[in-house]
């Protein structure tokens, strides 16, 4: 049976929900990552940066914009040494300025992706997948992007069935 790894980044704190700012103890993408793990089994790996992003929404968008422009690779609290034993890797992340947060690429850059099947999952407030699929394919050299799923961030928590059905189908 194929072995799954579900890698996610998700930010707690202030975020936009349908036009207004609210502070949340758990990020949108974290729900989606957990639904995938529950549906298909496998291990969850949370990407956490050494330096936390501002809880304030606007301040965070500024930091994220600079990181994207500079193609930054923020330092992570922990990395994986190898992907040995894993067949399917799901990347779950929020859309930040049209792609994944740079921290996801800090994780990717250290690993050998040849022969892996990868899946792109993005929560967003209107941009859908943005350029995340292209960016992922470029970064994960030798991997095959099998499928992707865009979920509206404000509906992430209530999207368990949609996410589970998708994850089960694309790993059949």
Footprint on residues 1-30 left by ligand FMN (CB under 6 A): 10-11, 15-16, 27-30
Distance from C-alpha of 93 to C-alpha of 27, rounded to nearest angstrom = 10
* Local structure of 172: helix, strand or coil: coil
Note whether 127 binds ligand FMN by CB under 6 A. yes
Please select the residue that binds ligand FMN; options are 97, 137, 150, 162, rule is CB under 6 A.
97
Which of 4, 39, 76, 94 contacts ligand FMN by CB under 6 A? Answer: 94
Nearer to ligand FMN, 4 or 30 (CB): 30
Site for ligand FMN in 47-76 (CB under 6 A): 57, 60-61, 64
The Cα–Cα gap between 31 and 20 comes to 20
Shortest distance (Å) from residue 143 CB to ligand FMN: 23
Residue of 87, 125, 137, 147 that binds ligand FMN (CB under 6 A) = 125
Q: Which structure tokens are listed for 151?
A: 């979920």
C-alpha span between 91 and 1 (Å, rounded): 20
Token code pair at residue 121: 């999952």
Is 132 a binding residue for ligand FMN by CB under 6 A? The answer is no
Under rule CB under 6 A, residue 120 binds ligand FMN: no
Angle at 122 between CA 50 and CA 135, to 5 degrees: 75
Query: 72 near 102, Cβ under 8 Å?
Result: yes
The DSSP symbol for 75 reads P
By CB under 6 A, name the binding residues for ligand FMN: 10-11, 15-16, 27-30, 57, 60-61, 64, 94-98, 123-127, 153
């Amino acid at each position: 049976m194929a072995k799954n790894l579900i890698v996610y980044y998700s930010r707690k704190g202030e975020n936009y929900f349908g036009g207004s700012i609210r502070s949340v103890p758990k990020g949108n993408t974290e729900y989606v990552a957990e639904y995938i793990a529950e549906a298909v089994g496998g291990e969850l790996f949370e990407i956490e940066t050494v330096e936390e992003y501002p809880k304030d929404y606007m301040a965070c968008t500024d930091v994220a914009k600079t990181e994207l422009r500079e193609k930054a690779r923020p330092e992570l609290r922990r990395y994986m040494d190898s992907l040995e034993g894993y067949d399917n890797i799901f990347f779950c992340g929020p859309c930040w300025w049209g792609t994944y947060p740079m921290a996801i690429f800090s994780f990717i850059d250290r690993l050998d992706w040849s022969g892996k099947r990868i899946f792109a999952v993005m929560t967003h407030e209107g941009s859908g997948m943005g350029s995340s699929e292209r960016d992922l394919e470029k970064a994960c050299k030798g991997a095959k992007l099998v499928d992707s799923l865009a979920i509206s961030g404000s509906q992430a928590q209530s999207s368990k069935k949609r996410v589970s059905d998708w994850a089960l189908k694309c790993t059949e």
